[in-house]
Amino acid sequence: MTPVSTGAATPLAGVAALGTFEFGTAAIPDERARQLLDDYQELGGRLIDTAPTYGPAGGACRAEPLIGTWLRGSGTTGMRVITKAGLDPARPHQGDLRPEAILASARRSAQRLGRAVVLLLHRDDPAVPVAEIADAADRAVREGTAEQVGASNWTTARLTAWAGHATAARLTAPTVTAPLWSFIPRADPPEEPWLVEADPGHLAMAAQHGMTVVPYRTLAAGYLATRHSGRHTDHHAHTYDTAAGRERRDQLHQTAAALQMTPHGLALAYLRAHRPAPVIPVIGARTRHQLAESMAGAAQAGRITPALAAYLESRP
Burial classification of residue 314, based on how many CB atoms lie within 10 Å of its CB (0-12 exposed, 13-18 middle, 19 or more buried): exposed
Please report the pLDDT score of residue 79 as a whole number.
Answer: 96
The tens digit of pLDDT for each residue in 143-169 reads 999 999 999 999 999 999 999 999 999
The tens digit of pLDDT for each residue in 111-139 reads 999 999 999 999 999 999 999 999 999 99
Question: Residues 40, 79: contact at Cβ < 8 Å?
Answer: no
Q: What is the pTM of this model?
A: 0.95
Per-chain mean pLDDT for the chain: 93
Please report the pLDDT score of residue 2 as a whole number.
Answer: 47
CA distance 22 to 61: 10
The pLDDT of 269-280, averaged and rounded, is: 96
CA distance 141 to 118: 9
The pLDDT of 271-292, averaged and rounded, is: 96
Q: Is the predicted pLDDT of residue 4 greater than 60, yes or no?
A: no
CA distance 13 to 35: 22
* Phi/psi at 20 (5° precision): -130, 25
* Weakest-pLDDT range from 31-35, 138-142, 231-235, 259-263: 231-235
Question: Residues 148, 141: contact at Cβ < 8 Å?
Answer: yes
CA 170 to chain centre: 27
Confidence band, pLDDT 50/70/90 cuts, at residue 7? very low
What is the signed CA dihedral for 155, 158, 161, 162, rounded to 10 degrees?
-100
The tens digit of pLDDT for each residue in 218-248 reads 999 999 987 666 667 888 889 999 999 999 9
Q: Which residues contact 187 (CB under 8 A, 6 or more apart)?
A: 238, 239, 240, 242, 245
Q: Which residues contact 239 (CB under 8 A, 6 or more apart)?
A: 186, 187, 190, 191, 220, 221
263-272 and 288-298 helices, crossing angle to 10°: 40
Please report the pLDDT score of residue 229 as a whole number.
Answer: 62
DSSP string over 54-90 = -SEETTEE-HHHHHHHHHHHH--SS-EEEEEE-B-TT
Please report the pLDDT score of residue 90 as a whole number.
Answer: 72
The pLDDT of 305-314, averaged and rounded, is: 94
The tens digit of pLDDT for each residue in 56-94 reads 999 999 999 999 999 999 988 899 999 999 987 777 677
CA distance 4 to 64: 16
